[in-house]
Amino acid sequence: MHTHRGIYCICTNNNGHLLTVEKNGGPYKNRLDLPGGTPESGETEIETVVREVLEETGYKVLTADKAGERSYELPWNYKQWTHSQHTAVYYLCTVDESNKIGLADIPDQDSKGALWKDAESLKEDWCSPLVSDAKHYLLEKKIPAERKSYRTWEVLQLPKYK
């Protein structure tokens, strides 16, 4: 089983819209996902979320407070593995919307850019499990702690949210 631990941002703007990214790779390709990703060597969780949000959205994080953590298991053919276990650590963030820069030009950039989306309009088959749990957090003010397992998972060839 492929394992991954990432640090992710839950952020809403003054209109109550959720900050998402258009995913360009991995099991969430062509779905909306939360900005975030893998810590670099020696990096703290907060340093990771600040860097990843800037790289994937162009927004600078102003505040970040840990909200919870959840693991997801899903079928995904990647290299020699047939399944993925993805652990997501969530941070509630605010960003500076007045000063957006371009996306980072880095190898393996898996974000096509930021989209502010009305959380109520998001459909589950458009989104990664992380966005679904962010939507849940906005309603319930907590991240479910139990592992969520998917029996089936489709890597989309085209986005459904457009």
The ranges assigned to domains in the chain are 2-98+109-149
Look at the pTM and tell me if it is higher than 0.75.
yes
CATH of domain 2-98+109-149: 3.90.79.10
Q: Are 30 and 127 in contact (CB under 8 A)?
A: no
List the pLDDT tens digit at each of the 162 positions of the chain: 999 999 999 999 999 999 999 999 999 999 999 999 999 999 999 999 999 999 999 999 999 999 999 999 999 999 999 999 999 999 999 999 999 998 888 888 889 999 999 999 999 999 999 999 999 999 999 999 999 999 999 999 999 887
Look up residue 97 and give its two tokens. Answer: 């919307």
Cβ within 8 Å of residue 43, ≥6 positions away? 51
